[in-house]
């Protein structure tokens, strides 16, 4: 019995058709073991692997630029694993002021070195530097026997806020093919298996899409972007920082419905809440936590305190009512200001 390298499911099954391979019934991943129909190749002596008709190359690069451009920031550090001759990296350098480092173990590294800032001629597992803001890899992962270890190496090269963008063939790589017979391809990903692989590596997926063009034969590729997943304590700390930034000191919570229970109550005892208020007079005196009872809204008593409107749906109505009854201007903050991501 062989465990799935993506989701870890222990009951992967062996198949002999169309070639010897394993398949995971849980995430849909299929893979070959090097030497049993697949080949773990030595690329160090190869060259020219990106030499294809210009129109194909232009289409491929245009598809990639569409995703990468949104991730670019001036002075960011980029590592491309499998940069080939560095042509794509040169295009990216023309779009922003970035440091672009290529990793290429084939002879194409020599050409790439004339186009990029630096080119490293060794596997990712042997790199000692890190702190990259963006790591790119296009059609590399399917060639690697131990994909779990490789993704771990890549994640370790990122800055704490860095982004990983990876592209691989979607299953056989073309909607009209059921099997990919490329002898160097060891892994055949599904959207589920690629997601599972990243999540097991401690990465949080930000986007996953299919239909990306690599070549006429691999016209359907999966592309995923991810960042390091936050641990529970770090998530909580960042959420509390958002409350503090928006409300700055003790505040009143107005509206104790579903949004309050979902978004405020889990961290209520960690917030400097001066009072809980609801428009329903029948709730006054209701105990919400050991420390908090529902109170009636008193403009004079709460004067000067910011108010968190804990209702997405009725935010505008509540805001208008509070402004009409307040004796002086009051700072009103909605949950959307706290939870909205950039």
Classify residue 59: in a domain, yes or no: yes
The pairing of strands 332-334 and 307-309 is parallel
Mark whether 65 and 169 lie in a shared domain. Answer: yes
Mark whether 248 and 222 lie in a shared domain. Answer: no
Tens-place pLDDT, residues 67-95: 999 999 989 999 999 999 999 999 999 99
Mark whether 154 and 245 lie in a shared domain. Answer: no
Classify residue 26: in a domain, yes or no: no
> What percent of the chain stands above pLDDT 90?
83
Mark whether 54 and 190 lie in a shared domain. Answer: yes
CB-count exposure of residue 250 (10 Å: 0-12, 13-18, 19+): middle
> How is the chain split among helix, strand and coil, in percent rounded to 5?
30, 25, 45
Summary mean pLDDT of the chain: 93
Determine the pLDDT at residue 53.
87
Q: How many domains does the chain have?
A: 2
Q: What is d(CA 70, CA 67) in angstroms, rounded to the nearest whole number?
A: 6
Domain range spanning residue 196? 39-228
Classify residue 57: in a domain, yes or no: yes
Mark whether 286 and 274 lie in a shared domain. Answer: yes
Query: Does residue 38 register a pLDDT over 70?
Result: no
Classify residue 60: in a domain, yes or no: yes
Residue 237 makes CB contacts below 8 A (sequence gap 6+) with none
Tens-place pLDDT, residues 194-246: 999 999 999 999 999 999 999 999 999 999 999 999 988 999 999 999 999 99
- CATH code, domain with 270: 3.40.50.720
- Are 78 and 92 in contact, with CB atoms under 8 Å apart? yes
pTM score? 0.83
Mark whether 160 and 307 lie in a shared domain. Answer: no
pLDDT tier, 50 (very low <50, low <70, confident <90, very high otherwise): confident
Classify residue 19: in a domain, yes or no: no
The three-state secondary structure class of 130 is: coil
């Amino acid at each position: 019995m062989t465990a799935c390298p993506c989701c870890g499911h222990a009951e992967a099954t062996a198949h002999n058709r169309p070639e010897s391979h394993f398949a995971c019934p849980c995430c849909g991943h299929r893979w070959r073991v090097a030497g049993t129909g697949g080949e773990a190749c030595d690329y160090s002596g190869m060259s020219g692997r990106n030499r294809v008709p210009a129109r194909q190359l232009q289409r491929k690069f245009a598809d990639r630029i569409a995703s990468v451009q949104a991730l670019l920031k001036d002075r960011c550090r980029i590592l491309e694993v499998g940069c080939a001759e560095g042509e794509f990296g040169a295009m990216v350098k023309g779009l922003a002021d970035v440091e672009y480092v290529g990793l290429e173990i084939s002879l194409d590294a020599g050409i790439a070195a004339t186009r990029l800032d630096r080119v490293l001629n060794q596997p990712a597992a042997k790199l000692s530097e890190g702190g990259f803001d963006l790591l790119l890899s296009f059609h590399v992962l399917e060639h690697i026997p131990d994909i779990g270890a490789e993704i771990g190496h890549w994640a370790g090269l990122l800055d704490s806020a860095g982004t990983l963008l990876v592209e691989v063939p979607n299953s056989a790589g073309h909607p009209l093919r059921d099997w990919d017979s490329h002898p160097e391809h060891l892994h055949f990903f599904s959207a589920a298996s690629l997601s599972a692989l990243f999540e097991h590596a401690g990465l949080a997926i930000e986007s996953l899409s299919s239909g990306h063009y690599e070549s006429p034969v691999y016209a359907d590729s999966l592309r995923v972007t991810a960042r390091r997943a936050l641990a529970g304590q770090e998530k909580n700390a960042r959420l509390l920082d958002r409350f503090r930034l928006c409300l700055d000191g003790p505040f009143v919570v107005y509206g104790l419905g579903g949004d309050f229970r979902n978004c405020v109550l889990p961290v209520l005892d960690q917030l400097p809440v001066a009072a809980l208020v609801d428009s329903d007079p029948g709730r006054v005196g209701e105990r919400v936590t050991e420390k908090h009872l529902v109170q009636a809204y008193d403009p004079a008593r709460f004067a000067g305190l910011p108010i968190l409107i804990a209702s997405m749906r009725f935010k505008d109505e509540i805001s208008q009512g509070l402004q009409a009854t307040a004796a002086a201007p009051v700072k009103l903050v909605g949950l959307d200001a706290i939870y909205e991501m950039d």
